[in-house]
């Protein structure tokens, strides 16, 4: 949370390795389980879980941002929409194939993210958070204002088959699963990469990082751009799994959902964590579809509760345990 387990400092190898195997086993187990799941479930759940997986990528992008720059975004629906509409427009216009569309969508989102974060690069994080609020709110109005391009309320159709002969439901499912695997893999490995280490150093030890030429401003810009790229990637997959894009799927509320998912997943970059967060925000509205107000309250309690438990309660317990142990010694 405020002190994510990812730090720029080299970790204690001996203690970490045991934990690491557990993490890896859990990840592999999750992927295997998800891979076999279509054997047992019907088409409704297949579709729901496809959406959940695509949503997971977007949740990952929010977690990534919080982890690497300490910024909260409530405007990531903008980048998800950028990715989704980019792929839809590329398909409907120049008829670009799916994979090409995904690559372009990811790149465009990264560029838009960079552009957006640029003015606040030297300011404190609160400014960025507040401006993301406006970013999140303006998505539907922009899409509706330029209806000739975006298809207005009805939106645009997205081709949901890549290869012939396989049911589109299954294709949507496995594409979403593969995409989530790729996204979590990249996000997780990012920590060890040169850029990742620089960003983390700039976050924790700004002066040291500045000596390497990474100011905290440019570190924040990089983190934001990567996060926007992940969100755009997720958006293009979301467009594929829903086989259409329309303004209603990218309202401000979706950003709130993404943040709740990220917090519930404890900003995890592991696939099992992301799936838990995504499952929470997918299942709660489905179970409580007739009680809209309770969804708000449950989401609010989840944000508040998780934050307080992991920032106040857990550290307090840890402190007490440590103190007791010291006494005994």
Partner 1 sequence: MFPLLPDYALSAASSAQYALDVLGKDKCALIWQNDELGRRAKFGLDLVLSSRKKTILTDVSFDVATTDLSAQIQRVSAAGAEVVLLFGSNAHLASALRSAARISWKGTWFAPFFTADPSTYELTGDLLDGVYFSSWLLPLDADRPAIEAYRAVVPKYYPNDKLGVFGLNGWTGASLFAVAFERLLSSGKEPTRENLIAVMNTIDGVSAGAADKITFTAGDHRGTRQEVMIRAEAGKFRLVRDFSPYPQVVFDAVSK
Partner 2 sequence: MLPVIWQGIVTGCLYSLGALGLVMIFKSSKMVNFAHGALAGYGAFSVHALTAGGAGWPWLAAVAAALLGAIAISVLVYGLIAELLQRAATTATIATLGIGLIAQGMILWQYGSNIFRLDLPLPHLSFSILGMALTAYDVAVLSATFLVVVALFLVIERTRLGVAFRAVSTDPFAARVCGLSISRVHLFSWVTSSMLGVIAALLIVPTTFLSSTTVTTFMLQAFAAAVIGGFDSLPGSAIGGILVGVSCNLFSFYVAPELLNTFLLTFMLASLSFFPGGILSQRLGSRV
* Nearest CB to partner 1, comparing residues 153 and 212: 153
* Nearest CB to partner 1, comparing residues 152 and 206: 152
Considering only residues 28, 29, 119, 309, which one is a binding residue for partner 2 as defined by CB under 8 A? 119
| Residue spans of beta strands (DSSP E) within 141-296 | 156-157, 244-245
66 binds, among partner 1, partner 2, none (CB under 5 to 8 A by kind): partner 2
* Nearest CB to partner 1, comparing residues 244 and 306: 244
* Nearest CB to partner 1, comparing residues 153 and 291: 153
Residue 123-152 contact track with partner 1, rule CB under 8 A, x = bound: -----------------xx--x--------
Q: Does 296 bind partner 1 (CB under 8 A)?
A: no
Which residues have CB under 8 Å from 235's CB, separation 6+?
Answer: 58, 79, 80, 81, 82, 83, 84, 85, 86, 87, 105, 109
Burial of 23 (0-12, 13-18, 19+ CB in 10 A): middle
Residue 240-259 contact track with partner 2, rule CB under 8 A, x = bound: ----------------x--x
Q: Which of residues 153-192 bind partner 1 (CB under 8 A)?
A: 153
Q: Per the structure block, which two tokens stand in for 165?
A: 């002969």
How many residues form the binding site for partner 2 (CB under 8 A)?
Answer: 49
* Nearest CB to partner 1, comparing residues 1 and 137: 137
Q: Does 293 bind partner 2 (CB under 8 A)?
A: yes
* Angle made by CA atoms 52, 273, 99, in degrees to the nearest 5: 50
In 3D space, the residue among 135, 133, 114, 76 whose CA is nearest the CA of residue 220 turns out to be 114
How many Cβ atoms from other residues are within 10 Å of residue 326's Cβ? 8
Q: Per the structure block, which two tokens stand in for 53?
A: 């997986």
Q: Does 143 bind partner 2 (CB under 8 A)?
A: no
Which residues have CB under 8 Å from 73's CB, separation 6+?
Answer: 62, 65, 128, 129, 132, 227, 255, 259
Residues that bind partner 2 (CB under 8 A): 1-2, 66, 70-72, 74, 116, 118-120, 122-127, 129-131, 133-135, 137-138, 141-142, 144-145, 256, 259, 263, 292-297, 299-305, 307-308, 311-312
Residues that bind partner 1 (CB under 8 A): 140-141, 144, 153
């Amino acid at each position: 949370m405020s002190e994510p387990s990812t730090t720029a400092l080299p970790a204690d190898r001996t203690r970490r390795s045991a934990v690491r195997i557990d993490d890896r086993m859990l990840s592999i187990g999750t992927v295997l389980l998800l891979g076999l799941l279509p054997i047992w479930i019907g088409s409704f759940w297949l579709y729901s879980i496809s959406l959940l997986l695509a949503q997971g990528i977007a949740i990952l992008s929010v977690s990534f941002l919080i982890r690497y720059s300490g910024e909260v975004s409530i405007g990531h629906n903008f980048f998800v929409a950028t990715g989704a509409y980019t792929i839809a427009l590329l398909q409907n216009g120049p008829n670009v194939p799916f994979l090409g569309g995904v690559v372009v969508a990811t790149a465009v989102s990264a560029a838009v993210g960079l552009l957006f974060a640029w003015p606040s690069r030297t300011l404190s994080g609160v400014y960025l958070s507040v401006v993301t609020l406006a970013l999140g709110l303006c998505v539907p109005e922009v899409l509706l204002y330029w209806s000739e391009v975006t298809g207005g309320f009805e939106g645009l159709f997205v081709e949901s088959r890549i290869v012939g002969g396989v049911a589109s439901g299954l294709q949507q499912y496995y594409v979403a699963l593969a995409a989530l695997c790729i996204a979590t893999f990249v996000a997780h490995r990012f920590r060890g990469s040169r850029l990742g280490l620089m960003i983390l150093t700039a976050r924790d030890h700004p002066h040291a990082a500045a000596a390497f030429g990474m100011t905290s401003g440019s570190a924040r810009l990089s983190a934001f751009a990567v996060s926007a790229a992940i969100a755009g990637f997720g958006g293009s997959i979301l467009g594929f799994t829903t086989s259409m894009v329309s303004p209603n799927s990218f309202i401000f509320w979706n950003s709130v959902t993404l943040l709740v998912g990220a917090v519930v997943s404890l900003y995890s970059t592991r696939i099992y964590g992301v799936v838990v967060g995504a499952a929470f925000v997918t299942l709660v509205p489905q179970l409580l579809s007739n009680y809209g107000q309770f969804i708000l309250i449950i989401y609010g309690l989840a944000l508040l509760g998780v934050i307080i438990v992991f920032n106040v309660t857990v550290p307090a317990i840890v402190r007490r345990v440590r103190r007791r142990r010291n006494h005994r010694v």
